[in-house]
Each structure stands twice: as structure tokens, then as C-alpha cells.
Amino acid sequence: MSNPEGKVAIVTGASRGIGASIAERLAGDGFAVVVNYAQSARPAEELVRRIVESGGRASAFKADVSDPAAVGAMFEFAAKQFGGIDVLVNNAGILSQSTIADTSDSDFDRLIAINLKGTFNALREGAKRIRNDGRIINFSTSLVGSLMPSYAIYAATKAAVETMTSIMAKELRGRNITVNAIAPGPIATELFRQSNPEGAPRTQRILDSIVVKRMGTPEDVARGALFFLSPDNGFVTGQVLYVCGGTTLGLAPV
């Protein structure tokens, strides 16, 4: 986007990991940032403090993205606090692993509520409130492409997000708002470590699938977000960028 000074971004799930990296990078580039979190306020407030101490503008806002009213209140806060909304980064999400046969109703419903309905809630609000020439970035996963067992429901929610991404890009025709998605691969975050214990056979299979022979970092993903935000990329919309170290290439480990 041209002239990020004066632009405003909402980053959901921004208190840690990928979301925090994106929020901090946007603030460093001149965006005012709403740092959304769902539970623990401390990490979000610490991120806001770092941004402000570095000369940026940021505020934390608690909202469960699966709650439409909370999402609406977050957008209202951003508009009142900073004067409008130009960028939405739909990063909030959860990960749960199990085979289809072993997936409980509660796990299924929770994945749908946060990953799919949460993204929908923010997209619906963003379609009404984001200013012309804005940017929307959704989050998918490389598991949509790699089709790894035990991730069926999680990957299904993200495949649905990719579909909404492409359709919403068309629905916002004429407003110069681009809508794209990022599909991270194995990224060294707390979420990954919790789901993939060190030394577990499943974890080793994931590591062996990385063609570039290293785990990704939140900063790698943030650079993907900046690609979509660049003023040079206003002609890119409805696309999915895989930031995954080649895990979807289907190559045997070497």
C-alpha cells in the first residue's frame, strides 16, 4: 500500500507468534495496529508497549473472533481509536490433531467456530468497514496441499478460508481492495511445539518434509504478508501464497 503513514491495521490473534511478528512489522512500517487477543492480555499489552516505545502506534483489544458482536466491537474500536481501517489480517486460529474417526464433536465445533466462522465474522465486518484501496490477508495452511493424516478437520477449515478468499476478492470488485491468503508450513511457534513434541515420529516426518531443511519463523510469514501489502502488488488478489519451505512439493526426504 502507498504511504502506510496514517493507515490502520487490525491483526487478529496478534499477541504472540506469527500474529505478533506481523503486527510489529506493520507498526515499524508506519501502520497504527490493533493487536487482537482472545484470552491472556499480558502478551498483547507487552507487544503494544514495545511498539509504542519504538515510536509506533498500537492498542490491544480483547475479542473472541468466533463472536460476531465482539468482532464488531473490535472494528468499532479501531475506527474510533485511529480514524478508520485499511488492513485486516485474519491470523487468529487454533490447531487440533486427530484422525477423522477419533475427532470429537467438541473439537470439530471449536475448529469450525474459530478458524472458519471467526474468519467469516471478520471478513463480513471488514467488507463494510475497510476503506477503499485496503488490503485483506487471510490465513490458510500448507496442510491443504500436503494432505497429511490427522489434520483433516483443521485443513478443511482452512480450505474453506481459501474459497472465501477468492470469492470475496470478486465481491469487492471496484473498490481496489485486494483479498489474499497466506498458507504457512511448519513454523517455529508455541502452537507448533504444543502439537508436535520434539522427538515424536510425527514431528520428525514433518521436519523431513521441509525442502529448505529448516523450520520457518514468524518473520518468514510476516514477509509474506508484506508482499501482499506492497504498493507494487495491487494487481495481486484472490491468491494463496504458500510460505512453507517446499513441504507441499511431495518430494521424498533427501
Active-site residue, selected from the candidate residues 37, 151, 154, 242: 154
Residue closest to 9 by CA, chosen among 136, 94, 174, 181 = 136
Query: Is 154 tagged catalytic?
Result: yes
Which residues are designated catalytic?
Answer: 154
